[in-house]
Amino acid sequence: MKILATGGLGFIGSNFCRHIIAAHPRYEIINIDKIGTGANPASLKDLENEKRYKFIKGDICDSKLMNRIITQVDAVVNMAAETHVDRSIADPPSFIQSNTVGTFTILEALRKHNNEAKLVQVSTDEVYGEIPEGSFEEEDAPKPSNPYAASKAAADIFALAYYKTYGLNVTVTRCTNNYGPYQFPEKLIPKTIVRALKNLKVPVYGTGKNIRDWIYVQDHCKAIDLVLAKGQPGEIYNISSGNEMPNIEIVKEILELMGKNEDLITFVENRPGHDIRYSLDSSKIRSGLGWKPRFSFEKALELTVNWYLRNESWWKPLATRKILAPTPWKLGRTQ
C-alpha cells in the first residue's frame, strides 16, 4: 500500500510515518508538508535514507499539486492542520484555510482523480465541545467552542458529505489530547517540561480544573492504522484512553517527575471559550476494530519527560519567546 500522509512533519504526522514504516515492511509513505507552524523537518531525520519514504514540500490547499499526487496513492491520512486553540483565537483565517479548505481540496482531488482511494480524516474531540458529565459518542452532533474546533468540525462534515454524495471511501477519527515525543513546545505538556527545565514559571489557565483525556501518541497512531485497514466507509471512530485529568494535576505530575517545586506554577487569565471538560466513548473502535491503548499514562508521561530532557537539540530552536509566552492567545490578539 502507498499512503499519502499529509502534515507528516507535525507531531502526530511524524509519529504516524515512523509507525507505518516500522509496522508495515511493504507499505510506502509519501509525506506532504508545507513546513508551517508545528512542523519540523528534524522530526523525521531518521527516515531520510528510507527508500519507502518520500517527502514533498507543499500545501494541501494547492489543488494542482494535490491532483497530481493523489493519483499515485492507495490511501490518504489527512493530519495536516493548524492545531493550537490559542493561535486560532488570535488568527482564525489561517485555521479555516489549512483545516477546512485544505480538507476540501483533498476531497476534490479524490473525487476527480482517484475515487477508489481511502481517506482517513484525522480530527479531534474538540469538535463536540464540552461535556460536564458522561462521554460523547460518534452519533453526537458537533458543537465546537473555538475557531480551531469549528474549522475541524467543518472539515469532518465535508468529508462525510463526500462519502454520502459521491461515494468516497471516507472515515473520520476523533481523538483526545495527545502527548509524547516531537510535540511542538507551545502545547501544555512540552511547554511545562521546557519551562520547568529553565526554572521559569509554568502558566496554568484559570484554576487549572479543566479536564482532558490524555493519550500517548503511539497509541493514537496504532488506532489510525487500524481505521485505515479495517474502518468502514462513512463511519466516525472516537479514540480515547480514559486518562481524564485536570490540567493542574498534569502540571504537578510533570514537576514531580522533574524534581521541581510546585511554586513554579502560576495561574493566568483563562482563555476565551475554554471548555471545562472533554470526554469520548471509544467503545466502537475497541469492540469493532480490536483497539486498546498499550501505554499507561504514568509510564508514557515519564517516557515523554525523559525524551524532552534528552532531545534539547530538537526543541530548543522551536522554544522561542513567543511560543513560551504565558498567554499566547492574548499576545497574538494584540499584534
Give the pLDDT band (50/70/90) at residue 319. confident
Give the active site residue among 33, 86, 128, 148: 148
Q: Name residue 30's beta-bridge partners.
A: 4, 54
Could you confirm whether 125 is annotated as catalytic?
yes
CATH, domain range 188-211+243-276+296-328: 3.90.25.10
d(CA 39, CA 42): 9
pLDDT per residue as tens digits for the range 123-133: 999 999 999 99
pLDDT per residue as tens digits for the range 87-134: 899 999 999 999 999 999 999 999 999 999 999 999 999 999 999 999
Indicate if 188-211+243-276+296-328 has the same CATH topology as 2-179+214-239: no
Give the active site residue among 33, 125, 156, 213: 125
Q: What is the pLDDT of residue 143?
A: 96
Could you confirm whether 82 is annotated as catalytic?
no
Res. 86: pLDDT tops 90: no
The sign of the dihedral angle between the CA atoms of 45, 80, 218, 17 is negative
Res. 27: pLDDT tops 90: yes
- The answer to whether the beta carbons of residues 125 and 156 sit under 8 Å apart is no
Res. 57: pLDDT tops 80: yes
Q: What is the pLDDT of residue 331?
A: 40
Q: Which CATH class is domain 2-179+214-239?
A: alpha beta
Q: Give the residue among 157, 149, 291, 318 at the shortest CA–CA distance from 229.
A: 291
Domain ranges of the chain: 2-179+214-239, 188-211+243-276+296-328
Q: Name residue 2's beta-bridge partners.
A: 28
Q: Tell me what the mean pLDDT of segment 25-37 comes to.
A: 96
Could you confirm whether 156 is annotated as catalytic?
no
pLDDT per residue as tens digits for the range 204-253: 999 999 999 999 999 999 999 999 999 999 999 999 999 999 999 999 99
Res. 328: pLDDT tops 60: no
pLDDT per residue as tens digits for the range 278-294: 999 999 999 999 999 99
Q: What is the pLDDT of residue 31?
A: 98
Give the percent of the chain with pLDDT over 90: 90
Q: What is the pLDDT of residue 83?
A: 84
Q: Tell me what the mean pLDDT of segment 150-178 comes to.
A: 98
d(CA 314, CA 40): 9
Work out the mean pLDDT of the chain and round it to a whole number: 94
Q: What is the pLDDT of residue 272?
A: 86
Res. 269: pLDDT tops 60: yes
**Cell reading at 332:** 497574538
Give the percent of the chain with pLDDT over 70: 96
Give the active site residue among 126, 156, 186, 253: 126
